[in-house]
Structure 1
Amino acid sequence: MTSAQPPHLAAALRHRGYLLSWWPWRALAYVLTTVPIAGVLSVGLLVVGAPLLAAVNAVRQHDRPVSLPLALFLAVGTLIVVALAPLVSAAVAALERWRLGVVDGRPVPARPWSGLAARYTSADAWREAAYAALLGSVVPLAYWVYLLLVLVDLMLVASPWLAGDADQVIVVWSTVDTPAEAAPYAIVGVLLLPVLWYGLGVVAAAQAAMARRLLGSAGDTAALREVTRSRARLVDSYEAERRRIERDLHDAAQPRLTSLTLQLGLARLDVPEDSPAARPLAVAHEQAKGLMVLLRQIVHGIRPQSLTDLGLAGAVRELAGEATIPVTVHADLDRPLPETVETTAWYAVSEALNNVTRHAAATRAEVRLARAGDRLVVEVSDDGRGGADPARGTGLTGLADRVGAAGGRLLLASPPGGPTLVRVELPCR
């Protein structure tokens, strides 16, 4: 069963089939295209950095002061680098935002040129300069360490062929004379190849995360954070208002309607059947009973009573028992869940099972509830005909909106011919 395409490399690294996908090759392309950019920037930093390190080393070893020409060179060079950094980083940042699309499909808004003075006064410009400095210093160092690990592994793999020469071959910390002695090292080297292939993705993902953090707008990040907080406040306010309405309906309207129904029932017993008032009274009694059933359904729709009485696992098992096909429930919930999460998860299972019953032509279904770190994972699968499409109805779309309002996400896998899997992930903060 296929899942949704990961939006970026960091998400793809968590998928089981990462090594067999196109993502490692995209990571390789991102790393290879970084090499010339980082190389040019590192040469520029070395022009000032190498003499500075040499001067510091001389002072530490010989306890001699720095000569005046060298001090002037370092001071002027540092000033030139600082003065050129906001200008050079503008071109580097524009290229990096475009290149980031190789491993991250999420767009990074470009910053329009706002004048020369703004390059030296805005925080965003100096964030770009910081990224250029890291690209010319930390990134090449990380690449050299990774390249060294690759060369060591290739030496392990090639050691049986190298050991066939007349000279002795040193493999890591041992000396081998024959291909048979080198064979265990070669096996270890072959087993490490997938690890290094995966490690390349980790290096590329770390660089991409650094680029997104420094090249993204600080203002946009703050605005997005405030939108997230505002949405959380709205959800909390909705839940508080929902509980108030539920309490008012349950404690005020429902008892009075029950009393009215009983009074009408008693009145029917006192009125003869041939009386002109008997039929209108019977109609009023039936309408009152229907209204009471409707009110119970409304209260149940706001927050199912089974959630309060049985908890999420018990309420889902009750849903499974009401389904028209066999439904198996697997629940692994070791800690209490927030009320909002429980309600959203219950509606997700209810809507998914309703879709299975109405559209899937399935013979059985399965529901899984589990905690994965700080998230609740809800999966509903069936053996039906598949082909579920949110565009053909409002059920899945409305469910996705409800899950999104709770800060979660909904994933759907439903190839033609089935099976179908609906996966809901909800944060349990």
Structure 2
Amino acid sequence: MFADGTGVPNVAVWDAVRQRPLRFLASWWPWRCWAYLISGTLFGFTVLLALAVLLFVGLGLSVLGVGLLLLAVAAVLGIPVGAVERRRLKWIDPTPLPDPHGSLAGAGAPAWLRSRLRERATWRELGYAAALATVCTAVGVGFVALLGLSLLLTAVPLVVWAVAPDRVMLGPGRAVSGPMAALPATLLGLVGLIVCAYAGALLAGTQVRAAWFLLAARDEDLRSRVVELTRSRARLVDAFEAERRRIERDLHDGAQQQLVALTMTLGLAELELRGDHTPAAELVSRARGEARHALDQLRDLVRGIHPQVLTDHGLTAAVAEVALRNPMPVTVDIDLPHRLPAAVESMAYFTVTEALTNAAKHSGASQVAVVGRIETDRFILLITDDGRGGADAAAGAGLRGLADRLAIQRGRLIVSSPLGGPTQLRVEVPCSA
């Protein structure tokens, strides 16, 4: 389909003319081209009027400020024109024309307008709208005139027979005395229709090429969309990290301190009731134990959200601490020349904790090895256990969640877990994530 190597597909109507030039005349292609050109002429004239009104009125009212809004509307007029043209192109070319614009669902009118005015595709569409309103409309008027004249000449014998079979004036000094005498006009009209068939194919194909050149998505549009998605993803990560710090701070400075105060108060009450074997003393002692248990659980929760050792001493120390608390032996070999970015450290830490939890619950492993290195600006983390294997990233919510979180930072998770083991998780995260 893209035989010319330009990224523009071959025009279907031109292929039809090249492959079967005579059969083309008897196909539906000429009718489709004529309908496309006639509707394009009407549409182009409408666009011309809209552009003229917006520009003249906008320039006239620009001193009042309202005109600037009209000029901005004129600048984005190519967007709906391009949308209509992408639909009209399906009449003569089956290849869908991709939309170069990204989705702005939920954006207000000012944000939508600012975003669209910054996109190059908007200005290319405005250029197409201007070309459609001027060049294509002018050519279309000429084509419609030729087509109408050819149809009229073809129908001259019928007109002569219906209006005045004896004598009809076709022009100054040109009269025919019957339908048979008008047959040369019919022959000329048929020649004109044949010319219109091939000329319509040429003009329609040329407009298809122009539409693909100006209305299709280009590499820079896709690159800018990828950049915007990357920035949006980074903002989401930063927002999540800020919210995580807020929750951790509230738990540490609020609920945790209150539980500490409650434990101390219950301890003082227990001292006052020491030696007293009443039910109240037993209740105070039990309440103090439950308060301690709740405080320990809260500390574990805070540590699970984001351990302080990770913030203070980095990934190696944090993973070593997790390994000491793990019920099975864990070998840690993380050699880093410098501290990783905070987002990468947090992602690697929680990947290790999730992997160790899964290994302890499901793998039946006797030992786990954690290895971390930096290779060509990417952090590589390998977590290997000698368990029974059979881990499936598609079936387990934990591994699937890890893969989703890694994707936010342009990382990836590779799971190798044949039946019988061993199981290895390979995590790759860009250090610039």
TM-score by length of 1: 0.50
User: After the TM superposition, which residues 84-103 of structure 1 pair with which residues of structure 2 at under 5 Å, given as runs?
Assistant: none
Partner Cα separation in structure 1 for residue 409 and residue 296 of structure 2:
30
Corresponding residue of 1:304: 307
Corresponding residue of 1:406: 409
User: After the TM superposition, which residues 18-417 of structure 1 pair with which residues of structure 2 at under 5 Å, given as runs?
Assistant: 119=208, 121-122=210-211, 125=213, 218-271=220-273, 272-417=275-420
Instruction: Name the SS of the counterpart of 1:411 in structure 2.
Output: strand
Letter paired with 1:415: P
Partner Cα separation in structure 1 for residue 334 and residue 303 of structure 2:
23
Change (3 A) 1:276 1:322: closer
Change (3 A) 1:392 1:273: farther
Shift of residue 218 of structure 1? 5.0
Shift of residue 219 of structure 1? 4.2
Change (3 A) 1:410 1:327: same
Letter paired with 2:419: P
Letter paired with 2:253: D
Corresponding residue of 1:100: none
Change (3 A) 1:405 1:273: farther
Shift of residue 340 of structure 1? 1.3
Change (3 A) 1:334 1:125: same
Partner Cα separation in structure 2 for residue 401 and residue 238 of structure 1:
14
Shift of residue 253 of structure 1? 2.8
Partner Cα separation in structure 1 for residue 285 and residue 234 of structure 2:
49
Partner Cα separation in structure 1 for residue 243 and residue 260 of structure 2:
24
Shift of residue 256 of structure 1? 2.6
Shift of residue 328 of structure 1? 1.9
Once the two structures are superposed, residues 65-101 of structure 1 have per-residue CA deviations (whole angstroms, 9 ceiling, x without a partner) of xxxxxxxxxxxxxxxxxxxxxx9xx99x99xxxxxxx
Once the two structures are superposed, residues 174-201 of structure 1 have per-residue CA deviations (whole angstroms, 9 ceiling, x without a partner) of xxxxxxxxxxxxxxxxxxxxxxxxxxxx
Identical counterparts, % of pairs: 45
Larger radius of gyration: 2
Corresponding residue of 2:423: 420
Shift of residue 353 of structure 1? 1.6
Letter paired with 1:401: D
Partner Cα separation in structure 2 for residue 221 and residue 282 of structure 1:
65
Partner Cα separation in structure 1 for residue 301 and residue 324 of structure 2:
21
Shift of residue 330 of structure 1? 1.7
Q: Which moved more, 1:308-317 or 1:344-353?
A: 308-317
Q: How many residues align?
A: 242
Letter paired with 2:301: I
Partner Cα separation in structure 1 for residue 227 and residue 248 of structure 2:
32
Partner Cα separation in structure 2 for residue 268 and residue 248 of structure 1:
29
Once the two structures are superposed, residues 115-156 of structure 1 have per-residue CA deviations (whole angstroms, 9 ceiling, x without a partner) of 75764555x52698xxxxxxxxxxxxxxxxxxxxxxxxxxxx
Change (3 A) 1:276 1:325: closer
CA RMSD in angstroms comes to 3.4
Letter paired with 1:254: Q
Partner Cα separation in structure 1 for residue 278 and residue 251 of structure 2:
35
Partner Cα separation in structure 2 for residue 269 and residue 125 of structure 1:
86
Partner Cα separation in structure 2 for residue 235 and residue 243 of structure 1:
12
Once the two structures are superposed, residues 283-334 of structure 1 have per-residue CA deviations (whole angstroms, 9 ceiling, x without a partner) of 3212211221121012111101221243101111222223333322222210
User: Does the 8 Å CA contact 2:364/2:388 hold for their aligned counterparts?
Assistant: yes
Shift of residue 259 of structure 1? 1.7
Instruction: Name the SS of the counterpart of 1:390 in structure 2.
Output: coil
Instruction: Name the SS of the counterpart of 1:362 in structure 2.
Output: coil
User: Does the 8 Å CA contact 2:393/2:415 hold for their aligned counterparts?
Assistant: no
Letter paired with 2:390: G
Corresponding residue of 1:180: none
Partner Cα separation in structure 2 for residue 216 and residue 418 of structure 1:
47
Letter paired with 1:235: V
Letter paired with 1:358: K
Once the two structures are superposed, residues 357-407 of structure 1 have per-residue CA deviations (whole angstroms, 9 ceiling, x without a partner) of 222222322111111222211110122221101243311112112222233
Instruction: Name the SS of the counterpart of 1:277 in structure 2.
Output: helix
Shift of residue 412 of structure 1? 0.7
Change (3 A) 1:127 1:255: same
Letter paired with 1:258: V
Once the two structures are superposed, residues 225-277 of structure 1 have per-residue CA deviations (whole angstroms, 9 ceiling, x without a partner) of 32221111011011112112212222333223212101101101212533342
